Amino acid sequence: MRFRAMMAVVVVMGATASTGTAATAAAPDPFYNGRQMTIIVSAGSSGAYTQTARVLAKYFTKYIPGGPSFVVKNMPGAGHVLGTNFLYNQAAKDGSVIGTIGSAIPLHQVLDGQGVRYDARQFNWLGTTGISNQMGLAWHTTGVKSIEQAKQRELITGATGAGAGTAIFPTVLNAVIGTRFKMVLGYARNSDIDLAIERGEIESHHSFSYSSLVRSHPDWVKEGKVNFLYQVGNDVHAGVPGVPLMTDLAGTDEQRQILQLMTIPSVLGRLYLAPPEVPAERVAILRAAFDASVKDPAFLAENDKLGLDLFPLSGVEVTNMVQSLVDTPPAIVGKAKQAMAVKSSLTCAQQSNAERCGEGRGDD
């Protein structure tokens, strides 16, 4: 199937000269004058990746000298790998195409993931809009209120598929620190896991961003229906102060390195990049535009109105984190691979309502 046939397209028009576009600190480049640019979104058209890209495109237009317009194109598939491969191998390398991809893409490369035809170190990272910490929780009826109690009592937890965060985090914790999460694989989407936990079919849920949780289930938090066991991130203020970070659960340096490897994708959030080989002066313009956009008061207000996560990092910060991830010692990578292997599990159909079961979709 041709890529063109796979793309859902949204056009974000550039500002005209009469709107008085703001200039960035970067030197003007006539390349962008009136140009139509493309943002490739490696996810489906209905999710937060696309929502964020549509909003951000309007501010890129404002902060890139010359006021280019933008077309937002969706290229979902293979857990963000399809779009990432396109950006690396086929997208124009002149600065007219940028992309937003999944946070786990660099880790997928490190773990020798299926379908990788990219080197994350070669991308020109523009920054990330970030994401709030991902929470591991137990339903209140279990009485489990801490990770130590999760080592003593089996907790049934739902997951979309073995490669999703809903499965990876509890599986790694089982292997590394001895928790007793029992996996139920095969839910069609995260919202189906939510229904299953409310109906008592499962007892635990993982990889749930805190801001999404508060937005979609405010009663869970306000009424104490969930107990937070741990959170995945580098800063508790991006989640719930007082709840331990996953890396804090480590008992040895080796355990900490494994858990840190699993943590970095959560910190990376929704990544923005330009393909390899884009001229350095245009990368500088794009980075400056990204930094200015995510600080713009109007962008912040619009982002808040839509309820989207915003914990931005600069292109330099993202570059350093990706490099650190890719440079993880092979011995630690090997241990992490072993820890990610699901030892035993139930199928969704065995545990839950069949209507909630199906092929997990993790691209949104």
Q: Of 122, 115, 204, give the one whose Cα is nearest residue 156.
A: 204
What's the confidence (pLDDT) of residue 163? 73
What's the confidence (pLDDT) of residue 16? 39
Locate the DSSP E strands across 116-164: 124-128, 134-139, 155-159
What's the confidence (pLDDT) of residue 14? 47
Domains of the chain, earliest start first:
3-131+269-326 (3.40.190.150), 137-256+330-356 (3.40.190.10)
What's the confidence (pLDDT) of residue 125? 98
What lies within 8 Å, CB to CB, of 230 at 6+ separation is: 135, 136, 147, 173, 243, 244, 245, 246, 248, 249
Please list the pLDDT of the chain residue by residue as tens digits (364 residues): 444 434 445 555 444 333 444 444 445 669 999 999 999 999 988 888 999 999 999 999 999 999 999 999 999 988 899 999 999 999 999 999 999 999 989 999 999 888 999 999 999 999 999 999 999 999 999 999 999 999 999 999 999 887 788 999 999 999 999 999 999 998 988 889 999 999 999 999 999 899 889 989 999 999 999 999 999 999 999 999 999 999 999 999 999 999 999 999 999 999 999 999 999 999 999 999 999 999 999 999 999 898 888 999 999 999 999 999 999 999 999 999 999 998 888 998 888 877 788 754 444 5
Q: Whole-angstrom Cα distance, residue 182 to residue 346?
A: 8
Residue 219, helix vs strand vs coil: helix
Residue 167, helix vs strand vs coil: helix
What's the confidence (pLDDT) of residue 189? 82
Dump the DSSP string for 278-334. Answer: --HHHHHHHHHHHHHHTT-HHHHHHHHHHT-----EEHHHHHHHHHHHHT--HHHHH
